[in-house]
Structure 1
Amino acid sequence: MTPLDNVTAHLAHPSQSTRTRHPQDVATHRRGPTLPPHRLPHLPGQVAIPEQLRAAVGPAAMERFNTAPAAELERALLGCCRSLRWARRVTEHRPYPDLEALLAAADEAAYDLTPAELAEALAGESLTLLPDGAYSAAHTALSAAHAAYESRFGHVFVICLDDVAPEETLDRVLTGIRSRLTNDPEEERPLAAEELRRLAKGRLTRVVQHFSGQAGH
């Protein structure tokens, strides 16, 4: 297993495949109207703190990110945003002088996604994380809310929780789903895209931070 394979294994959604779909496949792909509740308890409950992660990213980590083989880096980046075009653009624009430049480039690439590419990325997302030890009624409520959202919009609910304390996660997710369920699809699409961009930046920071542990190996 290569260092970048280890990076992919440490992403926020390790159970989610990085398999990509072509845009024409996404156009006809529709997920089922319900989500099996048993998927919820098995998701990891970690919440990233961006400031802490960014502080751990030094020059050695950026150097390893900038010199990693392109094909391996693309695979790791697909764990941040499930758009092949996004992953390729971030890879092709190397080298980056620092993390802030990398995150700015990732943002720009995300803003340039076409509707079909955004649908591709959203189709690859997994369910929102719950804190470890959340009570069973919370899983039931969240499962019902997820099912209603997916039935309305055709993809799972996405929300970035990087700045949310673990004890506030459940309320933030449920409040967010219930609020956004009132949106029209045209209103929800840019909101989902913004949350996806925020998720991608947090995951990308974790990818680069992981290179700190690979330095010298």
Structure 2
Amino acid sequence: MPVQLRRPAPAPSPAAGPEGPLTGVPTGIHAAGLAHLNSLPFAAAEAAFLECCGSLRWAHRMAVHRPYPDLGALLAASDEAGYDLAPRDIAEALAAESAPCLHHDAPRAAHLALRAAHAAYESRFGHAFVICLDAFQPAQQVDQVLAGIRARLAHDPDEERAVTAEELRRVARSRILELLSGD
């Protein structure tokens, strides 16, 4: 039943610096995190990247290509590495995804509906459902996951593999931003 329920990124402060070319995210708020990531020993960097995407091939590639000169270069490398993942790498990344993270005060019905939707999705496609929810407030996330599962259950397997791979790339980018900001 893995899904990544992500909280929205905090709004950047006006003094954060120029915007990155790929994301619109101010790069200044991530400069210290990027410097730290670039300075980590290889094994530590690979482990940090593995937390962003569960594919060992992706994490290894990201660690090898350091140092990254700026946030845009890091995110571009993340996307490129994601596009190059073989089906077995995507399966490895999907297997590493954690179970859904609902707030403890979420209604029991929401937990049950989410479990049932995940079971239907996994039964149809044979892998975890992944969706990046950065654009949604926490109160909207369960509804977005349920709507996403319903819509994606209508996909044929090839179409869903492509959508899943794109969602993995989006989640990896989001996790990289969190890694750099120390969240």
| TM bucket normalised to smaller | 0.7 to 0.9
- Identity of paired residues, percent? 52
How big is each residue's C-alpha offset from its partner over 1:94-116, in whole Å with a ceiling of 9 and x where there is no partner?
11111121011000000000111
Measured against aligned partners, the alpha-carbon deviations of 1:115-141 in whole angstroms (never above 9, x if no partner) come to 111111112112343345210011111
Tell me the equivalent position of 1:48. Answer: 8
Cα distance between partner residues in 2 of 1:84 and 1:131: 30
Instruction: Note the C-alpha offset of 1:192.
Output: 0.5
TM-score between the two structures when normalised by the length of structure 2 = 0.84
Shift of 1:172: 0.6
Tell me which amino acid in the other structure corresponds to 1:69.
P
Q: Which runs of 5+ in 1 are unaligned?
A: 1-34
Is 1:99 aligned to 2:100, yes or no?
no
Aligned length in residues: 171
Of the three residues 38, 54, 64, the one matched with 1:82 is: 54
Residue in 1 aligned with 2:164? 192
Alignment of 1:70 with 2:19, yes or no, is: no
CA–CA distance in structure 2, aligned partners of residues 52 and 90 of structure 1: 25
Which of 130, 134, 155 is residue 102 of structure 2 equivalent to?
Answer: 130
- The CA distance in 1 between the partners of 2:42 and 2:153, in whole Å, is 39
Q: Say whether the 8 Å CA contact 1:50–1:162 is kept in structure 2.
A: no
2:20 is matched with none
Distance 2:163 2:101 in 1: 18
Provide the rounded CA distance (Å) in 1 between the counterparts of 2:6 and 2:130.
16
Residues in 2 aligned to 1:45 and 1:88: alpha-carbon distance in whole angstroms? 25
CA separation in 2, counterparts of 1:90 and 1:79?
12
Partners of 2:30 and 2:92 in 1: CA distance: 32
Inter-partner Cα distance in structure 1 for 2:82 and 2:108: 36
Q: State the distance in 2 between where 1:114 and 1:148 align.
A: 25
User: Whole-Å Cα distance in 1 between the matches of residues 76 and 137 of structure 2?
Assistant: 25
TM-score normalised by structure 1 residue count: 0.72
CA distance in 2: counterparts of 1:179 and 1:194, whole angstroms: 15
User: Alpha-carbon deviation of 1:44?
Assistant: 9.6
Paired amino acid for 1:141? A
Match for 2:108: what amino acid?
A: S
- Seen in structure 2, the aligned counterparts of structure 1 residues 46 and 105 have a Cα distance that, compared at 3 Å, is closer
